[in-house]
Structure 1
Amino acid sequence: MAHGTSLQYEPVAEIGGGAYGTVYKARDTESGQFVALKSVRVQTDQNGLPISTVREVALLKRLEQFDHPNVVRLMDVCATQRSDQETKVTLVFEHVDQDLKTYLEKAPAAGLSPGRIKVVTLWYRPPEVLLQSSYATPVDIWSTGCIFAEMFRRKPLFCGESEVDQLGKILQVIGLPPEDEWPTDVTLSRKHFPSLLPRPITDFVPEINEQGAQLLLKMLTFDPLKRISAMNALEHAYFQDEETLT
């Protein structure tokens, strides 16, 4: 999987950090171009890297073939074994000067004061990350759902002040999931939260149409295994309706 070496990339500055690790701006010592390094520690066993990690990297490499202007390119992958149980995987992406945060800072707020615009990653984290359970690519679908709702609302959907508060605000909308959907490998028990029924998503996103509401609920599904996939989301009826695309 890995064909580069981390020594080839010289960190220049820290771009940002979050639940998934720290991202650095770095210089490729061979070509001189700037890249973005995202390193994550992955638990390994006798079979090597978990299949979810291999699958995610393979998908990113496949996306690179499309050379889409709106998709950041994965340029290289470096794997460094730290121990028998852990490997550091470094993903090397093309460096993009402008992200969502800088775009929002420059763009007109259309009714929102600049002080209200925050790209606060806590607000976009899915339940499995807030619970510090194992997670994979469905985390991105949850985050996309939060942004989807925010585009209608013009303000974030879940504005928590801590991981527990964030999860509580999520459950006030989607309801408390059944016991068998709550991760077993977490310290925060389901009993910590009140038994809440799901509320209509239109109570929180009133401007959204019926098909959009259906898609949003599929993206904001508590169980990551039941959450809609990216491909199925793109094939959803919401995107087939010409009126929603104009």
Structure 2
Amino acid sequence: MEDFGDFSDLDMIGNGAYGVVYRARDTSGRYVALKKIRISLTSDGIPMTTLREISLLKNLDSYNHPHIVKLLDVIHRRADRENQLELYLVFEYLERDLADYISHLPTTSLIPSHQIQRLSKELLSGIDFLHSHRIIHRDLKPSNLLLSSQGQLKIADFGLAKTYDFEMRLTSVVVTLWYRAPEVLLSQSYNSKVDVWSAGCIIAEMYAKRALFPGTSEGNQLGKIFELTGRPRTADWPDCSLDLDQFLMTMPSEPRQLVPQLCDYSNDLLKKMLDFMPRNRPSAHECLQHMYFFTEPM
């Protein structure tokens, strides 16, 4: 069993590009989530993704937002190997994530509409809070949305999050492929609307119990998106390095043609959130004002 000092090592619950996550118990007996990261001291120092995550979460924690995961502590110590540092980010522990919840629903069961409405509101509230502090998450997906035992949703994993001052043109390696906005796929400048796109994909997935755009490559992903949005005219993307003519010309359709479970209001909300043109998408704050959140779900 690995030595975690003041923590009792229980079991590994995640293993990603930026560290291994364990469920552990602290000295008070409370469960916590430990994100363990090994850092080579002979490199350029602590990876920017780690520094960014720590800085953002420390700044956000003072607000105690109900839909943002809490960073409880940061611990560092020398690793067994020479010139290495072990860094532990200690988070509040939440029992499961949204991807796990959806995947374990019985085959014939759907998430109740009122529950999707509540979870969607909590997700957008968290995103609105981040955007009001000029933070783009850039990797929203069901596995990064944690659920407490009471069913409360919290946004987690800020390894790719970034503060912004202007539209960014960065590598497309942000946002997991299925939830990646078309402007990122097309290597265009982007802003906070990429999170709104991802949230739209997630809300649709809660209704359908499957990914809305399960692409296998960037080109395939765009093709699936065009089935909903219609293929744009090349003139709409004059700086696009991709030849859009390689895709069949398609006309826009309604989200409920892909997700029949949608009601009129949820269909209208997702149509706006999944607009191909980012300038036409509502902000997270504007999404929260939509009639979908002020009507009894059908």
Task: With the length of structure 2 as denominator, give the TM-score of the two structures.
Answer: 0.51
> In structure 1, the residue corresponding to 2:227 is in which secondary structure?
helix
Alignment of 1:154 with 2:209, yes or no, is yes
Cα pair 2:272 2:282 within 8 Å, conserved: yes
Comparing 102-111 with 193-202, greater Cα deviation is found at 102-111
Q: Distance in 1 between matches of 2:195 and 2:90?
A: 18
Using the TM superposition, give the Cα deviation of residue 76 of structure 1 relative to its aligned residue in structure 2, in angstroms.
8.6
Using the TM superposition, give the Cα deviation of residue 142 of structure 1 relative to its aligned residue in structure 2, in angstroms.
1.3
Residue 131 of structure 1 corresponds to 186
Residue 196 of structure 2 corresponds to 141
Counterpart pick for 2:279 among 219, 225, 229? 225
> In structure 1, the residue corresponding to 2:205 is in which secondary structure?
helix
Residue 9 of structure 2 corresponds to none
The aligned length equals 199
What is the letter of the counterpart of residue 192 of structure 1?
Q
CA displacement 1:159-185 (0-9 Å, x = unmatched): 22211111101101111224454372x
CA displacement 1:61-87 (0-9 Å, x = unmatched): 45861431x43236699xxxxxxxxxx
Cα pair 1:14 1:23 within 8 Å, conserved: no
What is the letter of the counterpart of residue 221 of structure 1?
D
Residue 177 of structure 1 corresponds to 232
Cα pair 1:61 1:74 within 8 Å, conserved: no
Residue 72 of structure 1 corresponds to 69
Task: Give the gaps of 5 or more residues in structure 1.
Answer: 1-12, 43-52, 78-90, 113-118
C-alpha change, 1:224 and 1:94, in structure 2 (3 Å) is farther
C-alpha change, 1:125 and 1:63, in structure 2 (3 Å) is farther
Task: Give the gaps of 5 or more residues in structure 2.
Answer: 1-11, 38-45, 75-88, 111-141, 144-175
Q: How does 1:24-35 map to 2 (within 5 A)?
A: 24-25=20-21, 34-35=33-34
> In structure 2, the residue corresponding to 1:146 is in which secondary structure?
helix
Residue 106 of structure 2 corresponds to 108
C-alpha change, 1:125 and 1:95, in structure 2 (3 Å) is farther
Residue 165 of structure 1 corresponds to 220
> In structure 2, the residue corresponding to 1:65 is in which secondary structure?
coil
C-alpha change, 1:156 and 1:240, in structure 2 (3 Å) is same
Cα pair 2:102 2:209 within 8 Å, conserved: no
Using the TM superposition, give the Cα deviation of residue 96 of structure 1 relative to its aligned residue in structure 2, in angstroms.
4.3
Cα pair 1:72 1:94 within 8 Å, conserved: yes
CA displacement 1:83-127 (0-9 Å, x = unmatched): xxxxxxxx9965645222333444434359xxxxxx794322221
Task: With the length of structure 1 as denominator, give the TM-score of the two structures.
Answer: 0.60
What is the letter of the counterpart of residue 25 of structure 1?
V
C-alpha change, 1:212 and 1:37, in structure 2 (3 Å) is farther
Alignment of 1:187 with 2:241, yes or no, is yes
C-alpha change, 1:99 and 1:204, in structure 2 (3 Å) is same
Percent of counterpart pairs with the same letter? Answer: 37
What is the letter of the counterpart of residue 98 of structure 1?
R
Q: How does 1:2-151 map to 2 (within 5 A)?
A: 15=14, 17=16, 22=18, 24-25=20-21, 34-36=33-35, 57=56, 61=59, 65-68=63-66, 70-73=67-70, 96=94, 98-110=96-108, 121-151=176-206
Segments ≥4 residues shifted beyond 4 Å: 33-42, 60-64, 74-77, 91-97
C-alpha change, 1:200 and 1:156, in structure 2 (3 Å) is same
Using the TM superposition, give the Cα deviation of residue 145 of structure 1 relative to its aligned residue in structure 2, in angstroms.
0.9
Residue 171 of structure 2 corresponds to none
